[in-house]
């Protein structure tokens, strides 16, 4: 049996979506209520796109196919105040750890194609971004992105996300959130350390290069890191545990 949250805020949103569909001229009838996890998380599609493929505006990321441990940790972070976005906090505030893990497992299991990248960055900016992604900046203590996020940049199971297939604006926004403390993780907070060691020009170079890369097929997360973590990172080695 699927786990049931106490008075989940997802259900009122689903009801509102269904009523809106019934009120629109010529709209299809609301889907039959199945009480399945797939139907109960349909409210997430309002921001994250159908089946979690990503929102259309560049600020709501893809969640389909991300490692379950990573998705679970982010849901916990929103609920427990380590990430700041009122809508997400409101949605997950009453949900239990077990239910958040069920949501994470659902979206992680979705294998959906990625759209082709549309960006065509200036060569000098792309070159700088590629160097930082593959080699880092040892002089500033910045590790290569691939040392944590996998050689193909599709993430490492169970808790490290892929960085390809994300819009430049979203990536820039997350770097900014790490730098200002609006986004935090379990201590030691390795991404905060990386973000504050990069200057704004390099952050733009990294996000621009990443957004311009095609996503490998298949886009599954790697099963193991390419080597030891270059710095301590809370919430990663513990997998989906807190």
Q: Which of 58-62, 152-156, 229-233 has the lowest mean pLDDT?
A: 58-62
Gap between the Cα atoms of 55 and 167, Å rounded: 10
**pLDDT for position 237:** 62
Between helices 97-108 and 68-80, what is the axis angle to 10°?
140
Which residue reads 């545990």 in tokens? 241
- Are 96 and 28 a contacting pair, CB within 8 Å? no
pLDDT band at 58 (very low <50, low <70, confident <90, very high): confident
Spatial separation of the C-alpha atoms in residues 37 and 124, rounded to whole Å: 46
pLDDT in tens, 96-124: 999 999 999 999 999 999 988 877 899 99
Q: What is the pLDDT of residues 164-214, one digit of tens each?
A: 999 999 999 999 999 999 999 889 999 999 999 999 999 999 999 999 999
Q: What is the pLDDT of residues 217-227, one digit of tens each?
A: 989 999 999 99
Please tell me the distance from the alpha carbon of residue 202 to that of residue 212, in angstroms, as a whole number. 15
From the candidate CATH numbers 1.10.150.20, 3.40.50.720, 1.10.533.10, 1.10.760.10, the one assigned to the domain spanning 123-211: 1.10.760.10
1-10, 54-63, 65-74, 165-174: the lowest-pLDDT one: 1-10
Find the largest Cα–Cα distance for the chain: 62
DSSP bridge partners of 156: 160, 222
Query: What pLDDT is recorded for position 176?
Result: 95
Work out the pLDDT band at 56, boundaries 50, 70, 90: confident
Q: How many residues does the chain have?
A: 242
Q: How far apart, in whole angstroms, are the C-alpha atoms of residue 90 and residue 94?
A: 8
What pLDDT sits at residue 222? 94
Domains 10-108 and 123-211 share a fold: yes
DSSP string, 16-64: HHHHHHHHSTTPPPPPPP---HHHHTGGGHHHH-GGG---TTSSS---T
CATH number given to 10-108 = 1.10.760.10
Tens digit of pLDDT for each residue in 10-22? 554 444 444 444 4
Domain boundaries, the chain: 10-108, 123-211
């Amino acid at each position: 049996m699927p786990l049931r949250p106490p008075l989940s805020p997802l259900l009122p949103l689903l009801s509102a979506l269904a009523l809106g569909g019934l009120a629109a001229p010529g709209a299809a009838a609301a889907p039959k209520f199945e009480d399945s996890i797939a139907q109960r998380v349909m409210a997430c599609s309002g921001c994250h796109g159908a089946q979690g493929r990503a929102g259309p505006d560049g600020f709501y990321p893809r969640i389909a196919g991300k490692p379950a441990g990573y998705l679970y940790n982010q849901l916990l972070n929103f609920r427990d105040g380590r990430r700041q976005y009122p809508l997400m906090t409101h949605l997950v505030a009453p949900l239990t750890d077990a239910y958040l893990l069920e949501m994470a497992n659902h979206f992680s299991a979705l294998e959906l194609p990625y759209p082709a990248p549309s960006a065509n960055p200036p060569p000098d900016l792309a070159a700088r971004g590629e160097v930082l992604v593959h080699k880092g900046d040892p002089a500033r203590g910045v590790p290569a992105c691939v040392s944590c996020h996998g050689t193909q940049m599709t993430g490492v199971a169970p808790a490290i996300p892929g960085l390809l297939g994300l819009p430049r604006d979203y990536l820039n926004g997350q770097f900014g959130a790490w730098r200002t403390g609006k986004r935090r993780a379990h201590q030691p907070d390795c991404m905060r350390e990386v973000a504050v060691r990069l200057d704004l020009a390099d952050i733009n170079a990294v996000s621009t290069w990443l957004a311009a890369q095609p996503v490998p097929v298949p886009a599954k997360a790697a099963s193991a890191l390419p080597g030891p973590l270059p710095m301590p990172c809370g919430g990663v080695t513990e997998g989906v545990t807190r």
